[in-house]
Amino acid sequence: MTPAIKCTIFSILIILITSCEANDPQREFLPGEWPVYQGDNNSSQYSPLTEINTGNVNQLEVAWIFNTGDVGDRDRSEIQCNPLMIDGTLYGTTPRLKLFALDAATGQEKWRFDPFSDKRIYLQTRNRGVAYWASGDRKRIFLTAGNRLFSVDAETGLSDKNFGDGNGYIFLTEGLGRDLRSLDVSATTPGIIYKNLFILGSRVAETAGAAPGHIRAFDVLSGEQKWIFHTIPQPGEFGHDTWPKDAWQTTGGANSWSGISLDAERGIVYVPTGSPAFDFYGGDRPGDNLFGNCLIALNAATGERIWHYQFVRHDIWDRDLPARPNLLTLTIDGKTIDAVAQITKSGHVFIFNRETGEPLFPIEEVPAAPSDLRGEWTAATQPLPLKPPPFARQILTEDNVTNISPESRALVLEQLRLVRSGGQFVPPSVEGTVIYPGFDGGGEWGGAAHDPNNGIMYVNSNEMAWILTMVDLNAEYEGTVPSIGRNTYMAFCAGCHGANRSGDGKNVNPSLIGIDKRMNKADVLSLLETGKGAMPAFNVISDEHKRALVDFLFSDPLPARESAISEQVMEISYSHTGYNRFYDPEGYPAVKPPWGTLNAIDLNKGEIKWQVPLGEFPELTARGIPPTGTENYGGPIVTAGGVVFIGASQDEKFRAFDAETGEILWETQLPAGGYATPCTYEVNGRQFVVIACGGGKMGTKSADAYVAFSLPR
């Protein structure tokens, strides 16, 4: 037998062995495990465990604390991870996106994997969890970090060198149909496993020139892309006529950043998407813009569309679908129906038949006002459900302006009268438009929990107003012709650093005033090329615009340039002054409390069962003001023991609520804000509840802790 024949036979054997292993039945998970992001494929955020229950939850104590050791400086790091627990091992991520495995009973570290070990630069993209797959002897953790998807051996923490290009990863920027190597494509939320496919959405930029948010499936062993669903349809595809004919070649967004749910029995994935880019102006993309702001039911094996529903047509409010949909079985008018429920940033729950997409409660078409921004196109109507009622207030009027002090109320009223406020779908404006609930919800990425036994959903909500103010890039600026640098800044930077370059005041997006005292021009140009921390690279901007932007940042007072505005910036037409929460003069939300709530919603009846404040400000309580609730990030879980667990609140506490009544049964102070969805599991007959305490949001301190609670031994 010749060497060539031997080599061929050997290759065939390897293929056959790999194929057999890949088609082995996947491991069945145990009821006491937490094997999937947010609990299970249905996104139930539910556990059948009952050791911890309403009668003893007040006895919980700290079982262990794991400190990752890599908290960021200047309180700019976070942990948003909902950890997994399989076969006695807990898997999570650190503030710097390192993957770790712990003994789930003791918190002792088993191994650690650094996705940036081959790179000097650390990308501060957030991570909300990982995915686990096992078949035969193969056990893999899938981690997204920066623009790469890694496959890691779940037992050793070593890269799977058979995945991707031999380094154990693939680039998410590849396989999207356009050369996107210079653009921001990452994933903050883990994908979902269907058989031997890893199905994944993405996080992309929200400015002009962003990458498209297509949905893809990858082979779990090789990393090969198996199918793609174009969320910005291409010629000949359904929905292409809802865009300008060439939009698919240049427009971005319409991405699924919040996660995907799976009906494994039916082989259907349910994919929520966000808005097209640019978020707040769509004059360059007239039309309804499918599949932006949609819930899409796809064949999990092929990526073919089964049905879809669009929640916002031609979104210009950043109304991304913020969380995985909940798959549950409801009883409505005596009929049992497998349903899918989707929460929204606007504080609504839309409920559909899981197979057909038929709404299970009526949805009305609400007339929507036209925009007065030059060149903007708006849809004539928008859909809103009649049941259940919204779990967040819908309009900021003078009647519900803050009342915590006469002075605060008077000053907020004065500001409110200068802007537009009319509920959902009031178009963005140069005067300023109130977005309420705000850009972060209503409902948000922490997701909603539901009890599969009774159809009750538990969802936390923000009751925050924000003000969106648009800037005409063609208008005069302080009596001068707009400069290329200033317009480039307004188009690409002002959303984070503010129109006046002062940052957000909370260390997340720093001030750029006086940057010439901290950096030189060459360093800033390099930063625009590579990105750093939470800032992506801006290679979509031409070299001319980058140099003009740097000149603008290094000039104080700001210069007037006689140069004409280039075609690239002219196409954008409008930018905005940043993401600005509407606060009173004391720094509290401009609306009457509550400012954050936890809600129980009976989805069978379409009714709110109870609503309670979530969080408080002790200094206001000391002034005799009842608990107000706070802005909150991270979601709840619910257990068969009748307990709802949630951190999320700005007061950095972890609480247990009675699932039936909403009564607080237990609370404790965390080492930092628990801005993540917790998990619960059982090891050696003992139930644990674990939450990541990374802090870093809403001006609170950062930390690096995972804290586990259990009952006394």
Residue 309 counted as domain residue: no
- Amino acid identity at 516: D
Cα 39 to chain center, whole Å? 17
Give tens-digit pLDDT for 659-700.
999 999 999 999 999 999 999 999 999 999 999 999 999 999
How many angstroms separate the CA atoms of 387 and 376, rounded? Answer: 32
- How many domains are contained in the chain? 1
Task: Give the pLDDT of residue 208.
Answer: 84
Residue 478 counted as domain residue: yes
How many angstroms separate the CA atoms of 447 and 452, rounded? Answer: 15
Task: Give the pLDDT of residue 21.
Answer: 42
Q: Lowest mean pLDDT: which of 15-29, 138-152, 176-190, 389-403?
A: 15-29
Q: SS3 for 146?
A: coil
**Cβ-contact 154, 101 below 8 angstroms:** yes
Q: How many helices (H) and strands (E) does the chain have?
A: 9, 41
Instruction: Strands of 148-238 (E only): list them.
Output: 148-153, 169-171, 185-186, 192-194, 197-200, 203-204, 215-219, 225-229
Best-predicted range by mean pLDDT among 18-22, 28-32, 358-362, 485-489? 358-362
Task: Give the pLDDT of residue 498.
Answer: 76
Task: Give the pLDDT of residue 234.
Answer: 97
- Confidence band of 11 (pLDDT split at 50, 70, 90): very low
Residue 325 counted as domain residue: no
pLDDT at 282 over 70: yes
How many angstroms separate the CA atoms of 632 and 461, rounded? Answer: 7
Task: Give the pLDDT of residue 401.
Answer: 97
Compute the average pLDDT of residues 608-625: 97
Q: What's the mean pLDDT when you consider all of the chain?
A: 90
pLDDT at 537 over 80: no
DSSP character for 190? Answer: -
Residue 563 counted as domain residue: yes
Give tens-digit pLDDT for 413-447.
999 999 999 999 999 999 999 999 999 999 999 99
Give tens-digit pLDDT for 58-100.
999 999 999 999 987 776 799 999 999 999 999 999 999 999 9
Angle at 351 between CA 346 and CA 354, to 5 degrees: 135
Q: What's the CATH code of the domain at 542?
A: 1.10.760.10
pTM: predicted TM-score of the whole model, two decimal places? 0.91
Task: Give the count of beta carbons closer than 10 Å to the beta carbon of residue 161.
Answer: 12
User: Whole domain around residue 504: which residue ranges?
Assistant: 470-577
- Confidence band of 31 (pLDDT split at 50, 70, 90): very high
Give tens-digit pLDDT for 239-279.
999 999 999 999 999 999 999 999 999 999 999 999 999 99
Tokens 């628990």 found at: 674
Tokens of 462: 């923000």
Give tens-digit pLDDT for 488-507.
787 778 777 877 777 765 55
Tokens 């400069």 found at: 483
Give me the sign of the Cα torsion angle 580, 586, 587, 589: negative
**Cβ-contact 33, 86 below 8 angstroms:** yes
Residue 530 counted as domain residue: yes
Residue 201 counted as domain residue: no
- Percent of the chain, pLDDT > 70? 89
Residue 667 counted as domain residue: no
- Exposure string of 88-113, with b = 16+ CB inside 10 Å and e = fewer, is ebbbbbbbbbbbbbbebbebeeebeb
Residue 348 counted as domain residue: no
How many angstroms separate the CA atoms of 460 and 689, rounded? Answer: 19
pLDDT at 148 over 90: yes
